[in-house]
Amino acid sequence: MMRTRPLKVALLGCGVVGSEVARIMTTHADDLTARIGAPVELAGVAVRRPDRVREGIAPELVTTDATALVKRGDIDVVVEVIGGIEPARSLITTAFEHGASVVSANKALLAQDGAALHAVAEQHGKDLYYEAAVAGAIPLIRPLRESLAGDKINRVMGIVNGTTNFILDKMDSTGAGYQEALDEATALGYAEADPTADVEGFDAAAKAAILAGIAFHTRVRLDDVYREGMTEVTAADFASAKEMGCTIKLLAICERAEDGAFVTARVHPAMIPLSHPLASVRGAYNAVFVESDAAGQLMFYGPGAGGSPTASAVLGDLVAVCRNRIGGATGPGESAYAALPVSPMGDVVTRYHISLDVADKPGVLAQVATVFAEHGVSIDTVRQSGKDGEASLVVVTHRASDAALTGTVEALRKLDTVRGVASIMRVEGE
C-alpha cells in the first residue's frame, strides 16, 4: 500500500553534486515514489550563496541556516554534500539528534570520524549511508558490507581517483611529462585549480580508510593510511615500466596479512602488469579489484566522479534509507568487531623496482648485489646500461618488506660507486 505522506529531504549543499541530486529528485519523482513506496519531497536546501539562480529549485526552499534546517524535526533524511570536516560533522550529528537519517558523500569526514558518526546514528536509531564517498557511481560500499558480508575479504586494490588516473594515462599513452598531463587535466575540468588533494594522494587515502574499515571489520582512520603522491613519477619511470610489461597507476591498497593478524592500508604509485585488469582502466575512470575467500576475484568499474555519477550513488542511498524509514528499520551500521591492528608501512611486503645512477666500472654490480643480500632483499632481475663512465642500473626485487628495502637504499646511498637513486617504485598485482 502506497504511503501518501511524503518523506521530507533536506539538502546540504547545492554545488555540482547537490544541484544534480535536486534535479533528479524532481525529474524522477514518480519513479522514486514507486520505488520507495512514498513520495519524497525536497523540504529545504542549505547554501552559502543564496542569491545564485538555481534552476528547478523554488527560491523559498533555499536557506543559509543549515543548522535550523536540520533541527526542524519534520525532516526524514538529510543529504550532506558540502564536504569538509566542519560544519558537516556538527550538522550530521544534529540531524541524528533531531530524528533524521543521513546520506553523505563526505569521504574526508568519514575517514576521520566515521566511528563517532556511526555511534551517534546508532544511539538515535538512524541510518548513515555513504556510497557516494568512495567511487562515484560505482556500487562498492553496499556490496562490501552487504553482498560480501558472509565472505572473508583479503584484499581491496583499486584506482579511486579519476584525476590521477587521467594524468598517468596521458603520460603512458602520449609520453607527456607530469606537468603537461596535469595542465590538460585542468583544462578539461578533471583537476581542480589546486590539485593537491588528488595528486598527493589525500583523496585516495580517505577512500582507502573507508574501504579497509568495511572490508576488514576494523576501525581504520585516515592517519592509519600510508600516503605517497604521484608528482615525482616521470616519463623515464613509464619507459622502465613498459620494458617490464607494466604500466603505472596510483593505487589504494588495503590488505589483510596472510596469518590474519593485522591489516594495512596504503596509497602510492605502483607498476602493475599490463595483464592485470586495473592496467586497462583509462582516462578519468575508477576501478576496484576485490579478492575474497569464497567469491574469489571481483572487479567494480565505472565513472568515479562528477555531478551525475556521484548523484546517482546519493540517490541510491536515499532510496534505501527512505525504504528503511517506511519499514521502521535501519540498515547496516559500523562493523568493527574484528578490531585488527593496522600495521605500519614498514611491515608491508611487495616487490620493488629501483633505478640507480652508478659509476660505469667493474665491480659495481657486485657491490650493489652485496648490499641487497646483507639486508635480506632478494634480487629478481638486473639491467645495466651506460657509457662515458656513467651507467644506469635497474634492479627488480623479489618480495621484501618496506623496512628492509628502506635499509637497503640507505646503504646504497653510502657507496662511492652509487651517484644517486633515480627512482623507487613498488610493483603490485602479481
- Catalytic residue positions? 207
Residue 16 main-chain phi, psi, to 5 deg: -60, -45
Residue 72 main-chain phi, psi, to 5 deg: -60, -35
Q: What is the DSSP string of 40-61?
A: EEEEEEE-S-TTS--TTS-GGG
Cα angle, residue 80 at apex, residues 137 and 125 outer, rounded to 5°: 100
Residue 131 gets which letter from DSSP?
T
Cα–Cα distance measured from residue 286 to residue 280, given in angstroms and rounded to the nearest whole number: 11
Residue 6 gets which letter from DSSP?
P
User: Residue 225 class from Cβ within 10 Å (0-12 exposed, 13-18 middle, 19+ buried)?
Assistant: buried
Cell 623515464, residue located: 236
- Integer angstrom CA distances of residue 204 from 181, 193, 312, 322, 390: 19, 18, 20, 29, 38
Q: Which residues pair with 420 in a beta bridge?
A: 357
Helices first, then strands: H and E counts in the chain: 15, 17
Sorted by sequence, the CB contacts under 8 Å of residue 117 that are 6+ apart come out as 89, 92, 93, 109, 110, 128
Rg (CA), the chain: 24
Residue 401's identity, in one-letter code, is: S
CB of 372 within 8 A of CB of 395?
yes
State the angle between helix axes of 16-27 and 307-327 in degrees (0 to 180), rounded to the nearest 10: 60
Could you tell me which of 169, 249, 138 has the C-alpha nearest to residue 201?
A: 249
Cα–Cα distance measured from residue 6 to residue 4, given in angstroms and rounded to the nearest whole number: 6
